[in-house]
Structure 1
Amino acid sequence: MNHDLLLVLLLLAACVGCFILNRPRMDVVALLAIVALPLTGVLSVNEVLAGFSDPAVVLIAALFVIGDGLVRTGIAYRLGDWLVHAAGDSEVRLLILLMLAVAGLGSVMSSTGVVAIFIPVVLSIALRLKVPPGRLMMPLAFAGLISGMLTLVATPPNMVVHSELRRAGLEGFAFFDFAPVGLAVLVLGIGYMLLARRWLARNDGTDDGDGEARLTLSDMAHAYRLSERERRLRVLPGSPLASQALDELRLRSEYGINVIAIERPHKFRTLLLIATGNTQLLAGDVLLVDLASPAIGLLGAYRELGLEPLQLSSSYYDIHARELGLAEVALPPDSRLPGKTIQEIGFRSRHKLNVVGVRRAREALQGVLVDERLRPGDTLLVAGAWKHIHRLQGLSRDFLVLSLPAEVDEVAPAASQAPFALLGLALMVGLMVSGVLPNVLAALIGCLAMGLFRCIDMDSAYKSIHWQSLILIVGMLPFALALQKTGGIDLAVSGLIGLVGGAGPHALLACLFVLTAVIGLFISNTATAILMAPVALSSAQQLGASPYPFAMIVALAASAAFMTPISSPVNTLVLGPGRYGFADFVRIGVPFTLLVMILSVLLVPLVFPL
């Protein structure tokens, strides 16, 4: 072992030790490695900083932007809605569908991109089902890695091994040659995560992240007793309300009916209109109303007004959470509003928001609120469009927005651009699958399409990039070149092959899997495949065996990067959202890697006879 190799190994060991201790932060460790490597004399400054121009880093950054575009247009949350609907209240069914969906998409496009797109979806689902994000984030990452074992184009290592076979004058792998073993690994992975998920949710309170859980729309509605007063009423043909504006009808003052929003049928979908004083009602509209008294329907008012009560299975605030919001508003000491009634301050006409609740001395008031005179210390619950709720935050003299529900994070500010976001995504995926352009250019074109169609703006694009993950990847990339230049990789490979060269083919397959997986802990799986593919073919030649099982085992092991959060960008992406530590991946990933190795060593010779 030469002096330079010793320095590189010591520095690498120091970085891994810091990762294990999680002190300092992983991105800080990566920056320290960037500074330290040139000081060893093994790499130049340009070589160490080359990671900032690496196509993989640019690709990951672009995919963060694509993912945020899908969030801002509401597509990601609609996909989450479908998963929740299909899974019901079963976390088991949700986990199975999630892993199947991610593995399926990742088999034809970048697994890193798929995971980046699914992260906000999974966070949203976890919030709604009250499941700790850690129970879903690692299954998400593992499914992304397993997707690389399903098709020839799923991951670069597969193409590397395929190319090495062709260079050796052999026929390469077909598109679905990986599928038999990959599908078996996917089934194994789903079963394993169903068991291991119980160890992914911490009981030390750290899963909350920010301390107390944020209020939800349901919490606010319960505190102000809205569920007792919520109704859905259809405007019947011939109703005296049809073709009239709400301000002209005086429904609040005369009948105690406060119209919050209107569901209006429109072609193939239903529009939600937030009620204002100028909103005109039409026959067939479904009114979402807040009643002054739950018994209002017994007074014959519905019949008089030509309204038909409809079933309300759950709160309409939950049903329309992306468009209809709630917020608690307090009156600061210098507010000009105490002493006035809600009717007098014209809340709906001025701010396009409805006051649906008032709390005084921690008790929710009942009755006709528009005539209630406000007092210092009152808190109001307002309902309306999210953009109008955000506008209240600028009126600091009269209002102080106390709290916004957690669902505000799911608001889609560019929901009308959803078809164009799908078009941009389809364009990117099509270019990636066809291979017409490199993946990084396909992703950049997708980003430009998102911007062109106003699915995302520049400020949001920059904010969407998870810079901590990128710095970590950039900081670890130079170790691959350093180990190659100092002979560290060659030394490890030759030593292990010499140790098991005389053993049987199954033992050699297992050793190739272990060596590939271990090297993949420190360098990219693509570089690992480049180094190990020739070794696999030479080993098969020495044994007089078929080269295909040996080449396949290297490709599978290169995708089996389950053991640490830095083994693959996929793992790095879920590290923060899942609130994992380095040890979490070791604890869950190492046993699963061993299971994948056993399964692969047993199945590969059956699919590709020795």
Structure 2
Amino acid sequence: MKTELIWVLTLLAGCVAMFAANRPRADVVALLVLILLPLSGIITVPEAMSGFSDPNVLLIAALFVIGDGLARTGVSHHVGDWLIRKADSRETRLLVLLMLAVAGLGAFMSSTGVVAMFIPVVLSVTNRLRISPSRLMMPLSFAGLISGMLTLVATPPNMVVDATLKHAGHAGFSFFSFTPMGLVVLAMGTGYMLIARRWLGGKDESTQKTGRRGLKHLIQEYHLETHGRRFRVLPDSPLDGHQLKTVSMRKDYGCNVVAVDRQVHFRRKLFNPGANMVLQAGDVLLVDVSAASGLEKMEADLKLQGLPLTGSYFMANSREVGMAEVLIPPESDLIGKSTIKAAFRRKHGLTVVGLRRSGKAMAGPVLEENLKLGDVLLVVGPWKSIRQLQSQTKDFIVLSLPADVEDVAPAASQAFYAVLSLCVMVTLMVTGLVPNVLAAFLACLLMGAFGCVTMDSAYKSIHWQSLVLIAGMMPFARSLEITGGVDLAVEGLTYLTGGAGPRVLIGSLFVLTAVIGLFISNTATAVLMAPIALSMASHLGVSPVPFAMTVAIAASSSFMTPVSSPVNTLVLGPGQYRFGDFLKVGVPFTILVLLVTVLLVPWLFPLK
């Protein structure tokens, strides 16, 4: 084996390990690849950087903007409203319509974004129908994954595989090449979920931990009876007449002031405590003491009087101080940061008093805990501040409140033009009048001209991490080709299958792609497997199209674990799932998709 090939394979193994551990971030790993491959002399610098000028990378960036336009104009929320009306309190109809709606939207915009927008809708509907959210959350994520099999632009792996075909001199895929296969999988998935939902939860669970519950439920679930305290500021307290920031209660005593209850004229009023708020004797401080040490010392030092705190206190003041659960989505800037480092309270006027991870409320202090994708935060503060979180869909998904179109859709009046822009793009792509990337750019310009997006929202909507990952991993394909790694993989796979026919090799290719996708992103999987698929077809002397299609379908078949795709991770908390739930439901369905792929792909895309 050549020294160069050993180096490339070692680097590839290191990348897979870092992807699996998620340390460092996937885009940082891709940048390391861009540096190490040219320095080793395997490829040139222009070859390493060619991914950033690839039309498909630019197309993916444009599709993020188009998805943002559909969200800002409320198109996706109108679909959710339609879903609620048409379901008519029937769970079976709701499941079918939900999967069709999510798959339909996901065919033209980010499946992760679609699933994130539908989570509050599903929670609201399940609460009204008095069923467990677990019966619909996994169908929601499966529909999001299946949507990637419906159109060329539905998911980045499709475009990566298409680009690989074109670079090899083949015609590539049309806009609807994936649709026949995707529709079959969607129909099969919908029928499968009508049966599998029975494994995911009972019917009469209206008080599930993820529905829109009352304050009493939240207090009990996050054990706030043991976290909260009330203290009255006495006349001789050093806090009297001074700003709250003059005494560092969190640093010195491990306490966090959530609200200030003050007598104003003839009634008591609750205030959101900023650092510059001047306290007065008689003020009652509502304090989170989850990380407190030495409460008696704090009372003595600050001249405070302890008062009882019960859940009814929150109820009595629920018009002014509210609670809400917010979910951390994949694009959130909070991932990897603690709420203290992210200055959560200063930015949003809300205090984090609880954290739920993998369905369980964490005991002890949570403010210094580094947040992860899928974490659910319990925040306390003014309802106005809570509702403002709804407009920041990049960083938060508000679970305990129904999404309000007026708040989350600032360009609701331009919905017609957003749909028109989308139709123009699809028409141009289907007819082939212009290249796909130009059609997407034109749709972006139309959305900007009609006010569906702003320049700021457009740039913020682009998931730069995904683009860097795709562009950074593309040189691997060229490196493996130059060093003979692709030929080695093809020979190894052919040897293992004993020289079997094309259908057996297609099945083996599907299995290998799906297994690799358990550890690294589906985009990176497609980048690595697409050249192997084309070389395998060349080795057999058959058309590469069915092999390329198999890689694309397998890359989207991330049904087996909650960490194999961001959409699975998103529904893990709201659905109260365990790791085994995805294995129980996802593995059989992946096998079904494998069988359908082996049977239909060679028929839809002839080998000769």
TM-score range, shorter chain: 0.5 to 0.7
In structure 2, the residue matched to 1:497 is 494
Question: For 1:213 and 1:71, how far apart are their aligned partners in 2?
Answer: 23
Equivalent of 2:115, from 119, 125, 136? 119
Residue 526 of structure 1 and its aligned partner are, at CA, apart by 7.5
Residue 591 of structure 1 and its aligned partner are, at CA, apart by 5.3
- Structure 1 residues 519 and 456: alpha-carbon distance in aligned structure 2, compared to 1, 3 A threshold: same
In structure 1, the residue matched to 2:59 is 59
Question: For 1:379 and 1:509, how far apart are their aligned partners in 2?
Answer: 59
- Structure 1 residues 494 and 468: alpha-carbon distance in aligned structure 2, compared to 1, 3 A threshold: same
Residue 147 of structure 1 and its aligned partner are, at CA, apart by 1.8
SS at match of 1:469: helix
Matching of residue 143 in structure 1 with residue 143 in structure 2: no
Residue 44 of structure 1 and its aligned partner are, at CA, apart by 4.1
- Structure 1 residues 564 and 600: alpha-carbon distance in aligned structure 2, compared to 1, 3 A threshold: closer
In structure 1, the residue matched to 2:255 is none
In structure 1, the residue matched to 2:326 is none
Matching of residue 574 in structure 1 with residue 564 in structure 2: no
Matching of residue 404 in structure 1 with residue 382 in structure 2: no
In structure 2, the residue matched to 1:428 is 425
CA contact (8 A) 1:200 1:584 kept: no
SS at match of 1:56: helix
Structure 2 counterpart of 1:84, which letter? I
Question: For 1:516 and 1:560, how far apart are their aligned partners in 2?
Answer: 6
SS at match of 1:455: coil
How does 1:426-505 map onto structure 2 within 5 Å? Answer: 426-498=423-495, 500=497, 502-504=499-501
Structure 1 counterpart of 2:188, which letter? L
- Structure 1 residues 463 and 17: alpha-carbon distance in aligned structure 2, compared to 1, 3 A threshold: same
Matching of residue 532 in structure 1 with residue 533 in structure 2: yes
CA contact (8 A) 2:152 2:175 kept: no
Per-residue CA deviations over 1:465-494 (Å, capped at 9, x if unaligned) read: 333333433443332222222221111113
Matching of residue 87 in structure 1 with residue 87 in structure 2: yes
- Structure 1 residues 380 and 460: alpha-carbon distance in aligned structure 2, compared to 1, 3 A threshold: same
How does 1:525-604 map onto structure 2 within 5 Å? Answer: 525=526, 528-529=529-530, 532-533=533-534, 535-536=536-537, 539=540, 551-552=545-546, 554-562=548-556, 574=567, 577-578=570-571, 587=583, 592-603=589-600
SS at match of 1:147: coil
CA contact (8 A) 1:145 1:560 kept: no
Q: Paired residues, what number?
A: 432
CA contact (8 A) 1:536 1:554 kept: no
Question: For 2:11 and 2:403, how far apart are their aligned partners in 1?
Answer: 44
Question: For 1:505 and 1:192, how far apart are their aligned partners in 2?
Answer: 28
Question: For 1:176 and 1:71, how far apart are their aligned partners in 2?
Answer: 24
Per-residue CA deviations over 1:542-601 (Å, capped at 9, x if unaligned) read: xxxxx57x8535523432214669x9xx976636644699x8999576654443232333
In structure 1, the residue matched to 2:8 is 8
Question: For 2:482 and 2:55, how far apart are their aligned partners in 1?
Answer: 22
SS at match of 1:113: coil
Structure 1 counterpart of 2:489, which letter? A
SS at match of 1:146: coil
CA contact (8 A) 1:330 1:379 kept: no
Residue 33 of structure 1 and its aligned partner are, at CA, apart by 3.9
Per-residue CA deviations over 1:420-470 (Å, capped at 9, x if unaligned) read: 222222222222222222222222222222221122222222332333333
Q: Which runs of 5+ in 2 are unaligned?
A: 128-132, 202-207, 219-257, 270-310, 322-347, 350-380, 388-400
Structure 2 counterpart of 1:536, which letter? A
- Structure 1 residues 499 and 123: alpha-carbon distance in aligned structure 2, compared to 1, 3 A threshold: closer
SS at match of 2:42: coil
Question: For 1:435 and 1:527, how far apart are their aligned partners in 2?
Answer: 28
SS at match of 1:560: helix
Structure 2 counterpart of 1:126, which letter? V
Residue 142 of structure 1 and its aligned partner are, at CA, apart by 2.3
CA contact (8 A) 2:76 2:105 kept: no
Per-residue CA deviations over 1:236-286 (Å, capped at 9, x if unaligned) read: xxxxxxxxxxxxxxxxxxxxxxxxxxxxxxxxxxxxxxxxxxxxxxxxxxx
Residue 86 of structure 1 and its aligned partner are, at CA, apart by 2.6
Question: For 2:176 and 2:63, how far apart are their aligned partners in 1?
Answer: 26
Per-residue CA deviations over 1:85-141 (Å, capped at 9, x if unaligned) read: 3334556544433433455567xxxx4635266234323323424636962553133
- Structure 1 residues 190 and 66: alpha-carbon distance in aligned structure 2, compared to 1, 3 A threshold: same
- Structure 1 residues 514 and 160: alpha-carbon distance in aligned structure 2, compared to 1, 3 A threshold: farther
- Structure 1 residues 538 and 46: alpha-carbon distance in aligned structure 2, compared to 1, 3 A threshold: closer
In structure 2, the residue matched to 1:263 is none
CA contact (8 A) 1:164 1:533 kept: no
Question: For 1:20 and 1:167, how far apart are their aligned partners in 2?
Answer: 33
Greater Rg by CA: 1
CA contact (8 A) 1:428 1:443 kept: yes
- Structure 1 residues 15 and 4: alpha-carbon distance in aligned structure 2, compared to 1, 3 A threshold: same
How does 1:345-360 map onto structure 2 within 5 Å? Answer: none
Residue 537 of structure 1 and its aligned partner are, at CA, apart by 6.2
